[in-house]
Structure 1
Amino acid sequence: MDTETRHQHIRTRAQTEGRVAATALATELGVAVQTIRRDLRQLCAAGLLERVHGGAVLPSGVSNIGYDDRRALNRDVKIGIARRTAQLIPDNASLFLNIGTTTEAVAHALHAHRNLMVVTNNLNVANILASNQSCDVIVAGGSLRRTDGGLVGDLAALAIDRFKVDFAVIGASAIDQSGDLLDFDPEEVRVSQQVIKAARATILVADASKFTRKAPVKIASLAQVDHFVTDNIPSEALAHRCIDWQTRVSLIKTL
């Protein structure tokens, strides 16, 4: 079976089932697992699929992929982004961490920081930081979104309005070529927008796969971001816009 035929088969299976597994595809198509993994890398590079542990899923559109799958996406890159972000945040600072698997990685990377005050609407972040005895954690109340431990809605936005923090560390589900930061849930977006207003500086943490994804609700623009930590900006035009917007970009090294 040639490459084009395999790719079409993989895409059809993903469209039918939402997710494909490399080992199952290899058995089904009678090829080596390494061949399927190469096919998946090519399809993901083209924005047709998104890699998860053991396989791939359909790229997002109007609904997000599962939280466990998001945790597995580009895990090593997220760890690198988190470590670089932690370097931007000094001890004795106040900050906000919003919902997302990359912001969870940032919470892990802050384990050695001292005298932080962290406000979050992410129960996962609160649990991660609970082990740091030198970190005060404030949870912004709201409606619990059980799929990812997020607290959203009016109560969360009102709680955040009471603060003025040094840093807002935010993620996004997608970034389009105009520099708009996008997400899926309008209730979550309202909270993220309030977070940006409540911070003296905003740090966006997002890996380059976000440039291949789509989401329907606008959070903000990169023009409103002070620092963007990522592994790559695929568009030279967008990189120049970041310079014009005075958005500082930190590109981490990847293996």
Structure 2
Amino acid sequence: MTPSMRQAKIVELARQQGEVSVEELVAAFDVTPQTIRKDLNVLCDRGALKRTHGGAMHPSGVENVEYEARRQIAPAEKRAIGKAAAALIPDHASLFINIGTTTEAVGQALSEHRGLMVITNNINVANHLRVVPSTEVVIAGGVVRPSDGGIVGEAAVDFIRQFKVDFAVIGVSAIDPDGALLDFDFREVKVAQAIIANARHVIVVADQTKFTRTAPVRIGHLSQAHSFITDICRVDSIREVCADAGIALIETGAA
């Protein structure tokens, strides 16, 4: 297991339990206390966890990890997922990209494409793609969320509904074993639902840490997707959802 994947799992354990100790993490991951302390220092420096005596705690059970901290969780896996998603999208296509660090990786992987029309409520994606030759970037109106540069609210939903595009790239905060797609902000969920409803081919992108996370707001169901790209899927029920719904399950591996 790579350090980034172990750290992602530590964050999820802290989210589920509220707090984790060095002792229990040593036993869970079969590594030295020094390794765990280093992991906790990294995660606390990123704002993903807060230090406690003998361990660390998650900042909140109903809020997402800060955006910059999420960027550092499984970065190699996200880059590989981004490249795989970009490979599904031809030149001269129209597409939606929603908020998230994995969808941001997709946006970065589209740099070599030509003739794209990209409609997004993700300022980070827009800022990256705006300099790509022959790519037209259309950004939704609405309320800019300070935490991550996402644009949310009814104005963004109404804007998205004006389009019917070839592809939608959707990132999520969590995936339940039954295939439910989950997020933390009901305003962002409304935008994601509008994106799904107005695309001909829906691509869900999520690394394996999303299988162990929880979030309170339902976006929809994995069966609404046409393609699901992850680094590795070890959840049999998710594989069954993909098989039953005819979803293309693409696993990229760790890097």
Q: Secondary structure at the match of 1:200?
A: strand
Q: Secondary structure at the match of 1:203?
A: strand
Distance 1:40 1:74 in 2: 19
Would you say 1:248 and 2:245 are equivalent positions?
no
Aligned to 2:7: none
The Cα shift of 1:130 comes to: 1.0
8 Å Cα contact 2:95/2:119 also seen in 1: yes
Aligned pairs for 1:188-227 within 5 A: 188-227=188-227
The Cα shift of 1:65 comes to: 0.8
Would you say 1:35 and 2:32 are equivalent positions?
yes
Q: Secondary structure at the match of 2:65?
A: coil
- The amino acid of 2:185's aligned partner reads D
The Cα shift of 1:40 comes to: 7.6
The Cα shift of 1:111 comes to: 0.3
8 Å Cα contact 2:157/2:194 also seen in 1: yes
Q: Secondary structure at the match of 1:65?
A: coil
- Structure 2-normalised TM-score? 0.80
Give CA-to-partner distance per residue, 1:197-224, whole Å, 9 cap, x none. Answer: 1100100010000011100000010110
8 Å Cα contact 2:232/2:253 also seen in 1: no
Distance 1:231 1:242 in 2: 15
- The amino acid of 1:66's aligned partner reads E
Q: Which has the larger radius of gyration?
A: 1
Aligned to 1:108: 108
Aligned to 1:128: 128
- The amino acid of 2:126's aligned partner reads A
8 Å Cα contact 2:174/2:214 also seen in 1: yes
The Cα shift of 1:60 comes to: 6.7
8 Å Cα contact 2:178/2:237 also seen in 1: no
8 Å Cα contact 2:164/2:200 also seen in 1: yes
Distance 2:127 2:161 in 1: 23
Distance 1:160 1:89 in 2: 19
Any gaps of 5 or more consecutive residues in structure 2? 1-9, 23-30, 50-57
Q: Secondary structure at the match of 2:182?
A: strand
- The amino acid of 2:188's aligned partner reads E
The Cα shift of 1:160 comes to: 0.4
The Cα shift of 1:166 comes to: 0.3
Aligned to 1:154: 154
What is the count of residue pairs matched by the alignment?
225
Change (3 A) 1:130 1:19: farther
Distance 2:134 2:106 in 1: 16
Distance 2:204 2:141 in 1: 23
Distance 1:229 1:153 in 2: 27
Q: What is the identity percentage for the equivalent residue pairs of Structure 1 and Structure 2?
A: 48
Aligned pairs for 1:23-172 within 5 A: 35-36=32-33, 39=36, 52=43, 57=49, 58=58, 61-172=61-172
Any gaps of 5 or more consecutive residues in structure 1? 1-9, 26-33
8 Å Cα contact 1:233/1:239 also seen in 2: yes
8 Å Cα contact 2:177/2:238 also seen in 1: yes
Q: Secondary structure at the match of 2:132?
A: coil
Distance 1:156 1:113 in 2: 26
Q: Secondary structure at the match of 2:192?
A: helix
Distance 2:117 2:110 in 1: 11
Aligned to 1:182: 182
Distance 1:243 1:227 in 2: 11
Distance 2:175 2:156 in 1: 24
Distance 1:196 1:97 in 2: 10
8 Å Cα contact 1:208/1:231 also seen in 2: yes
The Cα shift of 1:53 comes to: 8.5
Give CA-to-partner distance per residue, 1:114-134, whole Å, 9 cap, x none. Answer: 000000001111000011021
Change (3 A) 1:40 1:89: farther
* C-alpha RMSD of the superposition: 2.9
Distance 1:123 1:181 in 2: 22
